Amino acid sequence: MDASSQYLSADYPDRADHLWRYTPWKKIHPTGDISDIPSDFSIPEVSLKTIDGSTLPPGISLDRGDADSEGLPDEEKITKSFLEAVTGDSKFTLTVAPKFKSEVPIIIEISTSGTFCSAHVCLDIGKLAELELVTVVRGTCKWFGMLRTGSTGEGAITSDVVVNRLEHGKLLRVESISIPRNSQFKAGTVSSGSTVTKADLRYRMFQPGGNLNVLGSILSAKEMSLDHHIEIYHDSPETFSRLDWNSACGGSSRTVGTGMLRVSKGSNGADAAQLFQNLLLSRDAQADSIPELEVSEHDVVGCGHGTASGPVDEDQMFYLASRGLSPNESKSTLIAAFLNSTLSEMGGERMHGWLVSELDSDLTELGD
C-alpha cells in the first residue's frame, strides 16, 4: 500500500491520546479537510553551509533523493503516512562520514515558499563523528510539513538544533532519531516562528550507553499556538536522558509541552528526568505542560518529572531595577535569561552566539 492509501485508511487519532490532546489533526492539516491530500506541494530550497560562511569541511554532504524512513513511529500512522505522501520528491539526506569533525557548526537552511511546502530530511551520521548541526526553517509558505528521520553512529557526539523561523502559517514537524551505543545526542528546538506548530519528536536509545539531552527554547507571542510532544524511549540498559523545556508565552498565545518517557523492561540503570518550565508574560497567555512516565523496569537510577509555570519574578525585576534597568529592559532581560538557560546548553559558544542573534529581535518585541 502506498503512503496516500495508508493515510486514507488510517483511523482518525483519538483526542484522548497524549499526543492529540491539544492540537487535533484537523487543526494542523493543510486544508482542514482530513480526507484531502493536496497535490500542489512545492519543494523548498535546501542548502548546506557553515555557520560563518567558510568552506564546508570534507566528509559532509547533503543530497537530494531517497531518504530512509526507517524508525518512524508506526503507532502514529496519520502523520507518518501523510508526510510520506506529500514529501514524494522532496527528500534530502545529510551524510556525515565516520570520525567527521568540524570546529564550525553546520547549517541546513530550508527556505519555504508558496502555499504548501514539505521536506523529508534524513540524518545519516557516521560512527565517532562530532557535529554541531542547525536546521533552520524560514520563509513564507502557509503550511510546511517536515519529516526528520535518521540515526547517529556509535560513539558519535551530536548537537542537533531545529530552529523554526517561519514568518507565519502552520508547521507540522515529525521527527524520529535513533541513538546507538555510547552515542551522545543533544536535540534542541528553538521556536519563534509560525502561527501554529504541531511537533511530534521521538528519540530512541536502543543500545547501552546512549546519552540524550532534549532542550527547548520556545517563544510564543500574539496568537501563536505551539504544541510540542516529546517522546523518549529507554530501550536498553545504562541509558541517560534529560529533557529541559522552557517556554515564554506572551500575547494571547498558547504553548503546549507534553512529554512521554518510556523505560522498557530490561533497561536497567536507566536515568531519566524531564522538566517543563513556562514563563507567562501576559494575562491571556496560556501554557500547558504534561510530563508522563511509563516505567516498566524496577532497577533504574531515577525517573522524574516536573513542571513549573509563573509570571516574571518580581524580586528579580527589583534586583535588575536596582541596577538601573527600566521595567521593559528588565523584563526582556529576564525572558532572554529564561530561554538562554536551555539555549546555552544546545551547543558550543559559536552555535550559542548564532542562536541568540536569531532570537534577539523577537525577544525585544516580547519584552515591550
Q: Read out DSSP for 24-50?
A: -HHHHSSSS-TT---S-EEPPEEEEEE
The minimum distance between CB 316 and other proteins, in angstroms, equals 5
- Under the binding rule (CB under 8 A), the answer on residue 310 touching other proteins is no
3-state helix, strand, coil in the chain (%, to 5): 20, 45, 40
The minimum distance between CB 355 and other proteins, in angstroms, equals 13
Number of residues that bind other proteins (CB under 8 A): 25
Q: Can you read off the three cell numbers belonging to residue 125?
A: 551520521
Three-state SS across 220-281? ECCCCEEEEEEEEEECCCCCEEEEEEEEEECCCCEEEEEEEEEECCCCCCCEEEEEEEEEEC
Using the contact rule CB under 8 A, the part of the chain among 65-73, 98-106, 259-267, 337-345 near other proteins is 337-345
Classify the phi-psi angles of 232: left when phi > 0, otherwise alpha if psi is within -120 to 50, otherwise beta: beta
- Asked if 270 and 236 touch (Cβ cutoff 8 Å), the reply is no
- Under the binding rule (CB under 8 A), the answer on residue 12 touching other proteins is no
- Under the binding rule (CB under 8 A), the answer on residue 360 touching other proteins is no
- Under the binding rule (CB under 8 A), the answer on residue 286 touching other proteins is no
Which has the closest alpha carbon to 245: 262, 222, 261?
Answer: 261
- Under the binding rule (CB under 8 A), the answer on residue 368 touching other proteins is no
- Under the binding rule (CB under 8 A), the answer on residue 339 touching other proteins is yes
Cα 227 from Cα 46, distance rounded (Å):
25
- Under the binding rule (CB under 8 A), the answer on residue 333 touching other proteins is yes
Strands 254-263 and 225-234 come out as parallel
Q: Which of 23, 151, 330, 354: binder of other proteins (CB under 8 A)?
A: 330
Using the contact rule CB under 8 A, the part of the chain among 85-93, 112-120, 226-234, 314-322 near other proteins is 314-322
- Under the binding rule (CB under 8 A), the answer on residue 253 touching other proteins is no
- Under the binding rule (CB under 8 A), the answer on residue 353 touching other proteins is no
Q: Which of 316, 350, 358, 365: binder of other proteins (CB under 8 A)?
A: 316
Task: For residue 314, count CB atoms less than 10 angstroms from its CB and return exposed for 0-12, middle for 13-18, buried for 19 or more.
Answer: exposed
Residue written as cell 543500545? Answer: 207
Cα 48 from Cα 67, distance rounded (Å):
16
Q: Which is nearer to other proteins, 181 or 242 (CB)?
A: 242
Classify the phi-psi angles of 65: left when phi > 0, otherwise alpha if psi is within -120 to 50, otherwise beta: left
Using the contact rule CB under 8 A, the part of the chain among 148-156, 180-188, 202-210, 333-341 near other proteins is 333-341
- Under the binding rule (CB under 8 A), the answer on residue 348 touching other proteins is no
- Under the binding rule (CB under 8 A), the answer on residue 74 touching other proteins is no
The minimum distance between CB 359 and other proteins, in angstroms, equals 12
Q: Can you read off the three cell numbers belonging to residue 295?
A: 516505567
Q: Which is nearer to other proteins, 4 or 309 (CB)?
A: 309
Q: Which is nearer to other proteins, 5 or 326 (CB)?
A: 326
Q: Which is nearer to other proteins, 301 or 337 (CB)?
A: 337
Q: Can you read off the three cell numbers belonging to residue 42?
A: 512545492
- Under the binding rule (CB under 8 A), the answer on residue 364 touching other proteins is no
- Under the binding rule (CB under 8 A), the answer on residue 327 touching other proteins is yes
Q: Which is nearer to other proteins, 135 or 340 (CB)?
A: 340
- Asked if 279 and 335 touch (Cβ cutoff 8 Å), the reply is yes
Using the contact rule CB under 8 A, the part of the chain among 37-45, 101-109, 294-302, 335-343 near other proteins is 335-343
Q: Which of 31, 292, 308, 319: binder of other proteins (CB under 8 A)?
A: 319
The residue ranges that bind other proteins (CB under 8 A) are 313-316, 318-327, 329-330, 333-334, 336-341, 344
